[in-house]
């Protein structure tokens, strides 16, 4: 894999290979989808530490691991949009499939909602892990204008440009994380959530698990907040899950 391009734009990305791996001989691959942090400098740093996570996955599990920056975040060009981010994730999966036929997804926050939706529409996705993912995007969809203002203030490219609020709202509602979670089993589904997540209530994790009719591995991390990428217990849960399903 030499590049990750969507709509003619090259997305910032990092492909981690297991030590000593040879092209075509690694059985499984993981695409890592970052979330949507908000606040000053958030867009620039949204995926900053995810290449390190990809390296850890490759080293500890023997999987290929691809991290990338969604359009408008990090150093990826393009304009932020919910549908655009879903297209970016689809492209990342297609790119990794050129390296290995078995591709799983791991998504954080909004990246988790996107991962569930893609897995629901693509039966070839091998499994999904979501960390701090919302079960219901209706509140965000109902405030698409507020979302755009928040994204612009956080530095996501294109978020301050004119956009179709009704289209954004429809795209967010179409993600339907809980409905998508119901379509993942019998493929492996890991749901990790912090018990004191102030951005996405822990009840959302239980809603996702219930939607999968209990056919999911639910792990609530005691006293963990929203940014589970930086919680070593959550990373350990993800790595262990990958090792069991590789």
Dump pLDDT digits (tens) for 187-245: 999 999 999 999 999 999 999 999 999 899 999 999 999 999 999 999 999 999 999 99
pTM check: above 0.75: yes
Domains of the chain listed by start with CATH number = 5-136+177-245 (3.40.50.1820)
For 23: left if phi > 0, alpha if psi spans -120 to 50, otherwise beta; the answer is beta
Sorting pLDDT into bands at 50, 70 and 90, what band is 21?
A: low
| Contact between 176 and 100 (Cβ < 8 Å) | no
C-alpha angle 218/126/243, rounded to 5°? 65
At 138-168, the pLDDT tens digits run 999 999 999 999 999 999 999 888 999 999 9
| Rounded Cα–Cα distance for residues 229 and 233 (Å) | 10
CA distances from 65 to 57, 60, 68, 77, 206 (A): 6, 11, 10, 22, 28
- Is omega for the bond preceding 186 within 30 degrees of 0, making it cis? yes
At 76-127, the pLDDT tens digits run 999 999 999 999 999 999 999 999 989 999 999 999 999 999 999 999 999 9
- Residue for token digits 């978020």? 159
């Amino acid at each position: 894999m030499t590049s990750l391009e969507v709509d003619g734009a090259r997305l910032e990305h990092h492909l981690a290979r297991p030590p000593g791996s040879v092209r075509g001989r690694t059985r499984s691959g993981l695409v890592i989808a970052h979330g949507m942090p908000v606040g000053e400098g958030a867009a620039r740093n949204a995926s900053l530490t995810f290449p390190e996570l990809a390296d850890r996955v490759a080293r500890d599990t023997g999987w290929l691991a691809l991290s990338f920056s969604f359009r408008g975040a990090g150093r990826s060009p393009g304009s932020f949009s919910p549908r655009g981010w879903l297209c970016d994730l689809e492209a990342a999966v297609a790119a990794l499939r050129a390296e290995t036929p078995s591709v799983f997804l791991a998504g954080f926050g909004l990246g988790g909602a996107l991962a569930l939706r893609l897995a629901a529409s693509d039966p070839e996705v091998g499994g999904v892990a979501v960390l701090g993912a919302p079960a219901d995007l209706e509140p965000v969809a109902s405030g698409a204008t507020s979302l755009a203002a928040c994204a612009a203030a956080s530095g996501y490219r294109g978020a301050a440009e004119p956009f179709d609020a009704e289209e954004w709202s429809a795209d967010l509602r179409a993600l339907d994380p809980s409905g998508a979670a119901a379509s993942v089993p019998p493929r492996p589904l890991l749901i990790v959530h912090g018990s004191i997540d102030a951005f996405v209530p822990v009840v959302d994790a239980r809603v996702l698990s219930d939607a999968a009719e209990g056919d999911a591995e639910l792990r609530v991390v005691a006293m963990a907040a929203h940014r589970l990428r930086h919680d070593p217990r959550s990373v350990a849960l993800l790595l262990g899950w990958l090792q069991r399903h590789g």
